Amino acid sequence: MLQPSTLFTEEIRIYQEHILNYGYCPFCNRNLAQGENVYAGERADGYISVACESCKDMISTYVKKIVYHPKEYDVPNRNVPLWRYQDFPKFVSLLDCGELFFTRADKFEDVFEGARGFNFQKEAIYDKLKPSLTLKVKSQLRAAGIENPTDDEVDKKLIEETEALLETQWKKRKEYFVSCWHANERESEAMWKLYITAKKQGIAIQTTMERLCYSIGKSGFEVGKVKYISYDVPLESDAEPIWYKRTAFSHENEVRAIFREVGNCLEGMSVRMDLNMLIERVYISPSAPSWFAELVKRVMNKYGLNKPVEYSRLDEKPIY
Ligand SMILES: [Zn+2]
């Protein structure tokens, strides 16, 4: 078991542990229930942990009480290897700044980021929203002194409210900042091809779910598995679209770290990371010349990053 980075504040460390144990108490292994209190603090041996109400004595200092709300995404196991394939300049930038770039959700190539369904399902989406919006519209009309509104009056206001809600949801994509990782036990030829264009040299950072959580220098983040769906029916009105993607992207097997920040007009956010915690291994892209591997090692050395550098297994010669 790793110890969370001491580079960051106690609040961040507690948050990191909370995410890793999301959904259950690590002492009694019991699944948590909606609205239940969870306590986070230091155990007697100095490790940070969370505990349920009946196990809270296992924590010597309660630093934070958190109310548990189940998430709609799954939290990966703490040992799941996570990969990020990138070109060399991006890797050097990560080492130089010690910051990981989180892209604003509306800036991704995939226009379905934050989408509830297809445009042709608009009617079905309206129908799903109708019951709750009708109640809202009627109370608005009553507040405006219209006690018994006609159907036309309700319908007109309903259309306005629906359009306004869809507009808000569209804008909400600008409030999410995302870092994408590929979950896989081993390196992936498809990912090298996707992220490192032919004849260029690149690397893959390999971390784990636990390392990723412990290295993020910010509280309030969430890390979870993306759900791949067909969108044959649009998402329910209470679903968070940021955790869903089309099945055509399922090869990405994505785990994403997300922050939400309202009113930030930047196209992305750089977040301080503990790189020694984050990076477990660095892999050199297939067919890269040996001088490139040496360069990667020298640069890592310059930045004090003492981690194993592995050659891609895809370069190994076969035996017949
Ligand atoms: Zn417990």
* Residues flanking ion ligand 1, Cβ below 5 Å: 25, 27-28, 52, 55
With contact defined as beta carbons under 8 Å apart, do 237 and 263 qualify? no
79 CA from centroid of ligand 1 (Å): 22
3-state secondary structure the chain: CCCCCCCCCHHHHHHHHHHHCCCECCCCCCECCCCCEEEEEEECCCCEEEEEHHHHHHEEEEEEEEECCCCCCCCCCCCCEEEEEEEHHHHHHHHHHCEEEEEEHHHCCCCCCCCCCCHHHHHHHHHHHHHHHHHHHHHHHHHCCCCCCCHHHHHHHHHHHHHHHHHHHHHHHHHEEEEEEEECCCCCHHHHHHHCCCCCCEEEEEEEHHHHHHHECCCCCEEEECEEECCCCCCCCCCCHHHEEEHHHHHHCEEEEEEECCCCCCCEEEEEECHHHHCCEEEECCCCCHHHHHHHHHHHHHCCCCCCEEECHHHCCCCC
43 CA from centroid of ligand 1 (Å): 14
Instruction: Name the residue with tokens 């990969």.
Output: 83
| Angle at 123 (CA atoms; ends 119, 127), nearest 5 degrees | 130
256 CA from centroid of ligand 1 (Å): 27
Phi, psi (rounded to 5 degrees) for 231: 60, 25
54 CA from centroid of ligand 1 (Å): 6
- Fill in the amino acid letter for 220: G
How many angstroms separate the first and last alpha carbons of the chain?
41
205 CA from centroid of ligand 1 (Å): 35
Tens place of pLDDT per residue across the chain (320 aa): 788 888 999 889 988 999 999 999 999 999 999 999 999 998 888 888 999 999 999 998 888 888 999 998 999 999 999 999 999 999 999 999 999 999 999 999 999 999 989 999 988 888 888 888 888 898 888 888 888 888 888 888 888 888 888 888 888 899 999 999 999 999 998 899 888 876 678 999 999 999 999 999 999 999 999 999 999 999 887 889 999 999 999 999 999 999 999 887 788 999 999 999 999 999 999 989 999 999 999 999 999 999 999 998 888 888 99
Extract the tokens encoding 206: 């390999």
Among 287, 295, 291, 278, residue whose Cα is nearest residue 311: 287
Strand partners, 84: 205
66 CA from centroid of ligand 1 (Å): 14
Instruction: Name the residue with tokens 């044959």.
Output: 232
72 CA from centroid of ligand 1 (Å): 22
7 CA from centroid of ligand 1 (Å): 28
